[in-house]
Structure 1
Amino acid sequence: MIKDTSGQDEVLQTGKSKKKLGLVITGVVIIAALSAQVVFGGPNASSSVAKDRVQIAAVTFGEFTRDIAATGFVVAANAPQIYSPEQGYVSLQVKAGDSVTQGEVLATVKSPTLTNRLQQEEAELQRLSGELEGKKLDVRRQNLALNRSLDLARVELSAADREDRRAQLSIQKNLISQIDLEEAQDDLARAKLNFNHAEQEVALGKDTLAFELKSVENQLERQRLIVEELKRQVASLDVIAPVSGIVGNLLVDQNALVNANQGLMKLVDLSAYEAELQVPESYAAELGLGMAVELRIGNQNISGVLSAISPEVNNREVTTRVRFSDENIDGIRQNQRLSARILLEHKENTLMVKRGAFMSEGGHIAYKLSGDIAERIEITTGTSSISEVEVLNGLQQGDQIIISSYDAFERAPSILLR
C-alpha cells in the first residue's frame, strides 16, 4: 500500500510569521544585553569581585593623631648595682630574691690592710696629740721667761730713772760733779733702750711660739682627718642597701676575693617602675623627650612620657624609656610585656581614612565607590598613624574607598562589587 505524502510536506511561513519571529529574537538579545550589564557592571566595569572580600572605609574629617606602635616590658626605674668599697674578702649576708630594707647590711668586706692602716694612723694621731700638749707646756715656759726678761728690763729702767732724778737734785746742791750727772743720764738712756728691746723681743717671741703651736695643731688636725676618712672607709666595709627592694643577681660568690669597685649584686626597687620600649630605627629621628605615650599593660591603660632615648641602634631598633605619669599603679611586675603608642604629632581639622593594605601602592591610588562600582582614582596622602592615613587630595569627606589590597584588581580602571 502506498503511504501518503505527509512526511514530505513543509509548512511555509507567511510574512506575518517571520515578523513575529524577528521580534522574539530581538527581545532575547535585549534581555541578554541587560543581563550582561548587570553581571559585568556595564561598559565601565573591567572585572568584578565579591563585596565581602574587600574592606571599605569612609573618609572622615576631624582630629588626626600621628603615632607609632612599639612593644616593650616593665623595668624598675631604680635598680642600683652594689659595688665593693675596698679590696678584700666578701661575706654575703643575703641571697638572690631576698627582700631588703633601706639601711640593711647586704655584705661585709674584710680588708686587713685597711684595718691595719687605720690602727697605724690612730697611733700617729695619739703621738701628735701628746706632742701638742708638750708644745703647749713649752710655750707657757718660754712665755714665762720672756715676761721675766721684760720685767727685769722694766725694773732696771725704773732704777735708772730714780738715779737720774737723784743726780738732778744733787747737782743743784753741788753734791756731785757734772760727770756723775752725765753718767746717771747715760744709765737711764741705756735702761730705756734695753726696755724697748725687751718689749720687742717678748712680742716677737710670743708670735713665734704661737706660730709653732699653730703648726703642731694643724698637723694634729690633718692627722685627725686622715683617721676619720679611714674610719669611714672601714665603716663602709659593711655594704648597706641604698633602697628598699629585692636582691637581684649576685655577681660574686661567698668569701670571694674582690677588688675595689667590683660589682657585688643588683637591687631592684619595686616601688617605682618605668617602661622600656623598642622602637623601629626608621622612627628614631622623629622621637623627642617629653612625647606622650599611651601604654597597654594587661588590661590597664596607662599614660606616660618619653624620658630617655638611647643614642645607639641595636638590631635596627632604638631603646627608649617611658616614665609613668599615673601614680599608684597596681598589678604590674618586673619584665611584664606591654604594648605602646608613641604620639608623634596632633593635627586639627584633618581629612583622613582608615589605614589598610591599599597603602602598599604608595598611597597614590584608591578605588572610590559609586554604588556597586569602584573606580580607580589618583589621590595624595600625607602622614600616617597606626590606624589612620591623612588625605591631602583626591577625596572628600564622606567618600568611600576600598582599603584592602589591590593586587587582585590588576590595575583595572573600574571594579564591580557583586
Structure 2
Amino acid sequence: MIKDTSQQDLVVKSTKISWKKAVGVVALIGALGVTARAISMADTTGRSFERSALQVAMVSRGDFVRDIQASGRIVAANAPQIYSPQAGFVDLLVKAGDTVTQGEVIARVNSPALTNELKQQQAELARLRDSLAREQLEVRRETLTLNRSLELAKVTLDAAERENRRAQLSIKQNLISQIDLEEAVDDLARAKLNYQHAQQEVALGKDTLAFELAAASNLVERQQLVVDELQRQVNALEISAPVSGLVGNLFVQTKAAVTDQQALMTLVDLSAYEAQLQVPESYANELGLGMSVVLKVGASEVYGKLSAISPEVSNREVTTRVRFDHSDMGGIRQNQRLSARILLDSKEDVIKVRRGSFMNAGGNVVYRVEGEVATRLNIRTGASSVNEVEILEGLSPGDQIIVSNYEQFEHAPLVQLR
C-alpha cells in the first residue's frame, strides 16, 4: 500500500539569474559573432592589412601635364678652350680660379723658330725694297735715255724738213742740181723713218721699264704679306682671354714645352649659364626644341627652354641643353648638379590619380577602397607623368585606390583593411 508520493518528489532550490550575468552572456555572444564574421571575411578576402601601412589616393578630374624627369648639371654656355698657337715654351700668367677680363694677356709662348723665321723674312723684305728702289732709279735713267734719243730724232727730222724746203726753192731758181734735190728728199725720208722708229722704241722701252718696275713691286708686296703673316703669328704668341670669366682647368705647367695647337687651359664665361640634361633614350622621339623645362637648382626653381638636342645616343641617354634666365639666382656654379622636369604636353579635363608603386604592375590593375575592403579592378591608363597618371577606363572621380606596391596582395580579389 502506497502511503504517499513523498519518496518520489525532490526539493529543487530556486535560482535567479542576475542582469549582470545576462549582459556578460550577450557580450560574449556578440564577440563570438564578430570573431566569426572576421574569420569569415578573412576567408573571403584572402588577406588583411593595416590601412596605415598603405598609401591611398583619390581619383580626381582636372588638367593633366605630361612630363618626364631628368637630371643634369650646370654648364657654361660659353667655355672656350685655349690652345698654343705655335710650338715652343709657355709662360702661364694666370692660375686656376683667377678672374680674367676679355683681352687680358693670360699666357705667352716663346717660339725661337718662329721669331727667327720672322727676322729672316724681314731681312728679305728689306733686300727686295732696296732692289725696288734701285729699279726705280734705273727706270728713271732709261727713261731719260729714251727721251733723249727721241728728241734727237726729232731735231734731225726738223733739219731734214728745212733742207728739203730749201732744196725745193733752190731747184726752182736753178741754184742746185737735181741730184742735190733728190739727196735732200732722201734725207727727209730717212729722218722721218728714224723719228718713227725712235717713237716706237721709246714706247716699248717705257712699257718694259714699267713691267720690270711692277714685277719688283709685286715681289715686295708678296714678301710684305709673308712678313705680315709671320708678324701676326708672333703677336699671337701673346694669348689674350677671348671672354671675361674664370680660369678653369690648366692642362700644362708654366715653362713647359708645348706643341702646335696643344690645349693650355679653359675659360668659363660667368655671364651665361645653361643646363645640360641626360634624358632616357625612350623619350628621345618626344623631345622638341622650345619645350618648357622646370629646373630645380638647390632650393630654387626656374623655367627654361630646350635649346639643343643631341642627334646621338650615349649610354642609353640623350644629351640636351636648356637655356634659362639666371639673373635672379645666386650661388650657381659650373658643374652643379640639378634635377629637371621636361613638360611634353598638357591635357584638360581628364580623370587622373596620383602616381605610385602600383604602376609597377603595369598600370592595368588597381585595388579600389570601399569601407574596410579593397576590391581588385581592371582599369586602363593613358599618359603618365612624374606625379600623376591618366585614367581612361575603370575608375570615376571620387574613387579611392591603393597606390602602394601590390606584391604583398598576391593577386587576391579582395583585401581587408584594418
Normalised TM-score (structure 2) = 0.85
Partner of 2:187: helix, strand, or coil? helix
Distance 2:186 2:390 in 1: 117
1:322-347, CA deviations, whole angstroms, 9 ceiling, x for partnerless residues?
Answer: 22245353221223221111122233
Q: Which residue does the alignment assign to 1:392?
A: 392
1:236 aligns with 2:233: no
Q: Which residue does the alignment assign to 1:215?
A: 215
Q: Which residue does the alignment assign to 2:192?
A: 192
Partner of 1:252: helix, strand, or coil? coil
Distance 2:60 2:166 in 1: 129
Give the drift of 1:385: 0.9
> Are the structure 2 counterparts of residues 6 and 260 from structure 1 closer, same or farther at C-alpha, using a change threshold of 3 Å?
farther
Amino acid at match of 1:266: T
Q: Which residue does the alignment assign to 2:410?
A: 410
1:137-193, CA deviations, whole angstroms, 9 ceiling, x for partnerless residues?
Answer: 111111111111111122222222222222222233333344433333332222222
Give the drift of 1:409: 2.8
Which consecutive unaligned segments of at least 5 residues does structure 2 have? Answer: 1-5, 13-27
Distance 2:140 2:46 in 1: 121
For the Cα contact (< 8 Å) 1:62–1:351, is it kept in 2? yes
Amino acid at match of 2:78: N
Give the drift of 1:217: 0.8
Q: Which residue does the alignment assign to 2:164?
A: 164
Task: Report the identity percentage.
Answer: 59
> Are the structure 2 counterparts of residues 106 and 183 from structure 1 closer, same or farther at C-alpha, using a change threshold of 3 Å?
same
The residue correspondences of 1:15-414 to structure 2 (distance < 5 A) are: 47-414=47-414
Partner of 1:151: helix, strand, or coil? helix
Distance 2:294 2:346 in 1: 14
Aligned-residue Cα RMSD (Å) equals 3.2
Mean Cα deviation higher: 158-167 or 41-50: 41-50
Give the drift of 1:312: 4.7
> Are the structure 2 counterparts of residues 153 and 329 from structure 1 closer, same or farther at C-alpha, using a change threshold of 3 Å?
farther
Amino acid at match of 1:287: L
For the Cα contact (< 8 Å) 2:42–2:48, is it kept in 1? no
> Are the structure 2 counterparts of residues 164 and 337 from structure 1 closer, same or farther at C-alpha, using a change threshold of 3 Å?
same
Normalised TM-score (structure 1) = 0.85
Partner of 2:69: helix, strand, or coil? strand
1:371-394, CA deviations, whole angstroms, 9 ceiling, x for partnerless residues?
Answer: 554433222212211011122233
Partner of 1:404: helix, strand, or coil? coil
Distance 2:325 2:97 in 1: 29
Amino acid at match of 1:71: S
1:281-313, CA deviations, whole angstroms, 9 ceiling, x for partnerless residues?
Answer: 333343333322111111211112223334554
Give the drift of 1:370: 4.5
Give the drift of 1:207: 1.3
Give the drift of 1:350: 3.1
> Are the structure 2 counterparts of residues 307 and 6 from structure 1 closer, same or farther at C-alpha, using a change threshold of 3 Å?
farther
For the Cα contact (< 8 Å) 1:306–1:323, is it kept in 2? yes
Distance 1:193 1:382 in 2: 108
Amino acid at match of 2:343: L
Give the drift of 1:55: 2.5
1:264-284, CA deviations, whole angstroms, 9 ceiling, x for partnerless residues?
Answer: 222222222222223233333
> Are the structure 2 counterparts of residues 179 and 39 from structure 1 closer, same or farther at C-alpha, using a change threshold of 3 Å?
farther
Q: Which residue does the alignment assign to 1:16?
A: none
